[in-house]
Amino acid sequence: ELKVEQNPLFLSMQEGKNYTIYCNYSTTSDRLYWYRQDPGKSLESLFVLLSNGAVKQEGRLMASLDTKARLSTLHITAAVHDLSATYFCAVARGGGATNKLIFGTGTLLAVQP
Amino acid sequence: GAVVSQHPSRVICKSGTSVKIECRSLDFQATTMFWYRQFPKQSLMLMATSNEGSKATYEQGVEKDKFLINHASLTLSTLTVTSAHPEDSSFYICSPASPSGGRNEQFFGPGTRLTVL
């Protein structure tokens, strides 16, 4: 059974600081996703990582994937208040052409001024 | 990204009533629809997978007779919560997919917040 764990569950940061959210998963998968969720809203797609060593960056967020370690990281650089949200990683379960996703526990990020 | 709509966005109902949630894929043909639910302060849990024109496949622990899924067309899937109870109060989110649309990005609808009194 595929299990996806994130840590930390809650992260309070000061503006301007850097931090990393970790996502570990238990079985092999060829696709890993990162999403952002604002309170009361649905999911916003951030990154899709498809191969070992993949690194993607958008603004102050950078995601990487190590399929051998079954680990993905979401690095936040020089945090700003607008980044406050809950961040989820999700791993594709099974093969096939569609994406049945198993979600991590989520990380609630609060960026303090 | 894909344009997905859900209706209603929010619904409050009395215990014992049934509620239908519609999910529309507006800009591509969704041969597959995933339905997730999210309880407050928790993660998303996959409830079921439906393929257009076929019966849905439910995840372990999800009652198929309580959560009726219809996926009769490539642009519309519905989830009906039958005889709803307060423990069914949750955020329900659909996610359409299509093999021809590529396996990469996976988008989600805006969600429906169900509150059962």
Q: What is the pLDDT of residues A19-74, one digit of tens each?
A: 999 999 998 887 899 999 999 999 999 999 988 889 999 999 999 999 999 999 99
The shortest CB-CB distance from B108 to any of A42, A48, A50 is to A42
Residues of A in contact with B93 (CB under 8 A): 42-43
The low-confidence residues of chain B, meaning pLDDT below 70, are: 1, 99-103
The tokens describing B77, both together, are 């899937």
How far is B33 from B52, CA to CA, in rounded Å? 8
Q: Which of B103, B105, B113 to mutate to test the interface with A (most CBs of A within 10 A)?
A: B103
Residues of A in contact with B103 (CB under 8 A): 31, 97-99
CA angle A101, A20, A37 (to 5 degrees): 45
The shortest CB-CB distance from B93 to any of A40, A42, A106 is to A42
- Burial code (b: 16+ CB inside 10 Å, e: under 16) for A8-21 equals eeebebeeeeebeb
Nearest chain B Cα distance for residue A106, angstroms: 6
pLDDT value for B16: 97
pLDDT value for A29: 84
pLDDT value for B103: 58
pLDDT value for B99: 62
pLDDT value for B31: 87
How far is A22 from A74, CA to CA, in rounded Å? 7
pLDDT value for B42: 95
The shortest CB-CB distance from A97 to any of B42, B45, B103 is to B103
Determine, for residues A45 and B103 on separate chains, whether the beta-carbon distance falls below 8 Å: no
Determine, for residues B34 and A42 on separate chains, whether the beta-carbon distance falls below 8 Å: no
pLDDT value for A107: 97
**Closest residue by Cα to residue A7 from A112, A111, A109:** A109
pLDDT value for A2: 87
Determine, for residues B106 and A42 on separate chains, whether the beta-carbon distance falls below 8 Å: no
Query: If you count residue pairs, one on A and one on B, with CB atoms under 8 Å apart, how many are there?
Result: 57
The tokens describing B92, both together, are 């329900």
Determine, for residues B110 and A42 on separate chains, whether the beta-carbon distance falls below 8 Å: yes
pLDDT value for B102: 57
Determine, for residues B108 and A43 on separate chains, whether the beta-carbon distance falls below 8 Å: yes
Query: What mean pLDDT is reported for chain A?
Result: 93
Determine, for residues A100 and B111 on separate chains, whether the beta-carbon distance falls below 8 Å: no
pLDDT value for A37: 98
Of all residues in chain B, the one with the smallest CA distance to A42 is: B110
Please enumerate in sequence order all residues whose Cβ is within 8 A of that of A77, keeping only pairs 6 or more positions apart, or say none.
A18, A60, A61, A62
Helical spans, DSSP H, in chain B: none
pLDDT value for B10: 97
